[in-house]
C-alpha cells in the first residue's frame, strides 16, 4: 500500500504546471570553448551543459525523457495512466508517492509504478469483514491502540503462504487510518529474496516482519473508510509479489 497509503496546487499561476517540465527535443548548439581577451590571451569558456536524455521505466515499460525534472501529471500522461491513479517512485526502503503536481528529479534507470485508487464503500464494523478475514483476534493496547491479528493466506508468490498478519488501529480509528502491517513468520519471495520495504520489529514481545506500505494521500475517507478497505490495500501489496 505497499503503502507505505500517499492533490496540490500550482501556486495560482493559472496555467498547467506540466507545461514547464514536459519532455522536449533539445537541439545541440555549437559554442566556442575559448574566449579571446583584448590582450590576445585565450581563456577557456564555460560551456553550458545540455540536458541529458534519460530512460525510466513506468509499470515496467521503458520511456525516454529529455529532461530529468518531471511532474507527476506529465509522467502519467506519457505512460497513459489515469490521473486518479496513484504514482509511486520506487525507493530501496519505501516507495515515494508522486502526486499530479509534484515535481521530481529522476535518474537514468529509475522505476515507477501506478496503483488504482481504493474502491471504498459503505462503513462496516470489525465483525463485518469478509469470510476469509473472519478468523482474527483483537488485542487492546495501552494508549487506546488496538491490534488485530488475522490468520492470513498470502497466496502464490511468497514462502510461506500462510501467516499471521497484524494491523495496528490507532486511537481515533476509523477517523484516523491504519498505517503499515506486520506478518509472522517472516516471508520471502518466490525467488528467496526479502520483500521490498520490509524489516524485523518486535511487537507483543515477538519478532514480526514489518511491511512499510502506506495509503496514498487522501485515500482514507474519515467516516466512510474502514478496516475492510485497508485490507484491500494489504492485498494489493502482496499481489505485487516483490
Q: Over 70: is that where the pLDDT of 29 sits?
A: no
Q: How far apart are CA 152 and CA 84, in angstroms?
A: 30
User: For the chain, which domains are there?
Assistant: 17-115 (3.10.20), 126-239 (no CATH)
Confidence of residue 103 (pLDDT cuts 50, 70, 90): very high
Per-residue confidence (pLDDT) for residue 23, from 0 to 100: 57
Confidence of residue 52 (pLDDT cuts 50, 70, 90): confident
Mean pLDDT computed over 45-53: 59
Location of C-alpha cell 498505517: 179
Amino acid at each position: 500500500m505497499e503503502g507505505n497509503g500517499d492533490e496540490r496546487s500550482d501556486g495560482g499561476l493559472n496555467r498547467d504546471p506540466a507545461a514547464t517540465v514536459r519532455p522536449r527535443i533539445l537541439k545541440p548548439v555549437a559554442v566556442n570553448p575559448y574566449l579571446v581577451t583584448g590582450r590576445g590571451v585565450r581563456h577557456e569558456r564555460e560551456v553550458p551543459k545540455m540536458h541529458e536524455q534519460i530512460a525510466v521505466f513506468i509499470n515496467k515499460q521503458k520511456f525516454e525523457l529529455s529532461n530529468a525534472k518531471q511532474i507527476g501529471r506529465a509522467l502519467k500522461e506519457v505512460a497513459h495512466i489515469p490521473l486518479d491513479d496513484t504514482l509511486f517512485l520506487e525507493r530501496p526502503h519505501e516507495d515515494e508517492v508522486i502526486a499530479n503536481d509534484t515535481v521530481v528529479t529522476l535518474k537514468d534507470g529509475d522505476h515507477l509504478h501506478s496503483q488504482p485508487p481504493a474502491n471504498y464503500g459503505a462503513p462496516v464494523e470489525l465483525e463485518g469483514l469478509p469470510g476469509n478475514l473472519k478468523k482474527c483476534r483483537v488485542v487492546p493496547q495501552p494508549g487506546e491502540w488496538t491490534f488485530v491479528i488475522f490468520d492470513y493466506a498470502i497466496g502464490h508468490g511468497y514462502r510461506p503462504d500462510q501467516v499471521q498478519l497484524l494491523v495496528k488501529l490507532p486511537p481515533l480509528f476509523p477517523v484516523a487510518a491504519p498505517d503499515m502491517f506486520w506478518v509472522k513468520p517472516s516471508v520471502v519471495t518466490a525467488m528467496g529474496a526479502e520483500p521490498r520495504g520490509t524489516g524485523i520489529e518486535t511487537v507483543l514481545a515477538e519478532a514480526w516482519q514489518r511491511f512499510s506500505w502506506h495509503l496514498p494521500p487522501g485515500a482514507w475517507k474519515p467516516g466512510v473508510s474502514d478496516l475492510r478497505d485497508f485490507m484491500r490495500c494489504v492485498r494489493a501489496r502482496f499481489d505485487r509479489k516483490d
